[in-house]
C-alpha cells in the first residue's frame, strides 16, 4: 500500500469493515417502486413503502356523533300540580330517559295511563318554548285514554297537547302555532282559556274555535284566515 497517505488508508479500511453489512442495511431502507416508462407507468403515482412502517400497528379512531342541541322547557301540569324542566331537541326526539319522564308527566289526567307523545308534537312544544324563552308552559292535557275525548281525538295517539303560556294571551299563542306550521290542528277554547295543538302528518291543516270542550266547534274561523294572510300574500308573488 505504498503511496497511500493516512486519510486514504483510513477510508479504505472503513470500506473493508462496512462492506459485509451492506445487504442488511439496504433491507432496512424504504423501498421505492418507480414508474417504468416502457410499461406505460410514467403517469402513475410513485409508491413508497417502508418496511418499518409496514410493521407498525394501525391506529384506529372511534367517532361518536354529537348530541343534538336541546331547548330547556319548564312545564306545569295543572291537573297534578307538578312542575318539571325538560331538555328537548328541536325535532322532538328526546333521549330515552327524557322521553320516559315526559311520558309520565303528560299522562292521562283521568286514568293515569301513559303513552309516549309523538316527536312531531314535542317539536311544536319546543317551537313555542323557543319563541317565549324562560316562560313556564301550563299543560292542560297531554295523552288521553279512550273514551275520554272526542271521537278520533289526536290525544288518543299521543299527537296532541292542550296548553297555554304563562303571561301570553292564548289568542297570540294560537296565531303563532297556526301561522308557523302545517300538517297541524289548532283549536282555541276561549271559555277555558287554552289552545289545542296537534301534529297530523299527511293531513290537511284544521283550525277551530269553541267555548269549551264538548261544545260545538266553529271550523276555519276568521282568526285562522287572518293569521296566515301574510303567508298568502307572499305566496301569491311566486
Enter the pTM of the model: 0.72
Q: What is the pLDDT of residue 39?
A: 47
Q: What is the pLDDT of residue 136?
A: 98
Mean pLDDT score of the chain: 83
Q: Grid coordinates in use for 24?
A: 442488511
d(CA 156, CA 122) in angstroms, rounded, equals 15
Q: What is the pLDDT of residue 57?
A: 62
Contacts 24+ apart (CB under 8 A), 145-154: 145/108, 145/110, 145/111, 145/113, 145/115, 148/108, 148/110, 148/111, 154/185, 154/198, 154/199, 154/200
pLDDT at 234 exceeding the cut of 50:
no
The pLDDT tens digits for 49-74 are: 445 555 656 677 788 788 889 999 99
The pLDDT tens digits for 2-59 are: 455 555 555 555 555 555 554 554 455 555 444 554 545 544 444 444 455 556 566 7
Q: What is the pLDDT of residue 207?
A: 98
Q: What is the DSSP secondary-structure string of 51-64?
A: HHHHHSPPP---PP
Give the Cβ contact number of residue 177 at 10 Å: 24
Amino acid at each position: 500500500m505504498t503511496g497511500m497517505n493516512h486519510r486514504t488508508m483510513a477510508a479504505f479500511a472503513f470500506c473493508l469493515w462496512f462492506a459485509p453489512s451492506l445487504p442488511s442495511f439496504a433491507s432496512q431502507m424504504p423501498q421505492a417502486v418507480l414508474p417504468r416508462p416502457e410499461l406505460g407507468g410514467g403517469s402513475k403515482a410513485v409508491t413508497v413503502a417502508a418496511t418499518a412502517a409496514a410493521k407498525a400497528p394501525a391506529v384506529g379512531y372511534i367517532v361518536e356523533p354529537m348530541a343534538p342541541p336541546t331547548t330547556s322547557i319548564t312545564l306545569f301540569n295543572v291537573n297534578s300540580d307538578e312542575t318539571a324542566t325538560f331538555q328537548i331537541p328541536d325535532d322532538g326526539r328526546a333521549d330515552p330517559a327524557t322521553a320516559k319522564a315526559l311520558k309520565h308527566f303528560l299522562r292521562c289526567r283521568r286514568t293515569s295511563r301513559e303513552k309516549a307523545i309523538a316527536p312531531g308534537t314535542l317539536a311544536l312544544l319546543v317551537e313555542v318554548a323557543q319563541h317565549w324563552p324562560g316562560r313556564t308552559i301550563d299543560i292542560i292535557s297531554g295523552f288521553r285514554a279512550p273514551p275520554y275525548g272526542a271521537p278520533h281525538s289526536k290525544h288518543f295517539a299521543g299527537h296532541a297537547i292542550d296548553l297555554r303560556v304563562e303571561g301570553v294571551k292564548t289568542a297570540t299563542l294560537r296565531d303563532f302555532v297556526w301561522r308557523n306550521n302545517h300538517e297541524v290542528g289548532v283549536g282555541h277554547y276561549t271559555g277555558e282559556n287554552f289552545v289545542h295543538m296537534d301534529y297530523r302528518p299527511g293531513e290537511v291543516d284544521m283550525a277551530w274555535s269553541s267555548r269549551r270542550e264538548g261544545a260545538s266547534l266553529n271550523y276555519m274561523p276568521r282568526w285562522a284566515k287572518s293569521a296566515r294572510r301574510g303567508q298568502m300574500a307572499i305566496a301569491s308573488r311566486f
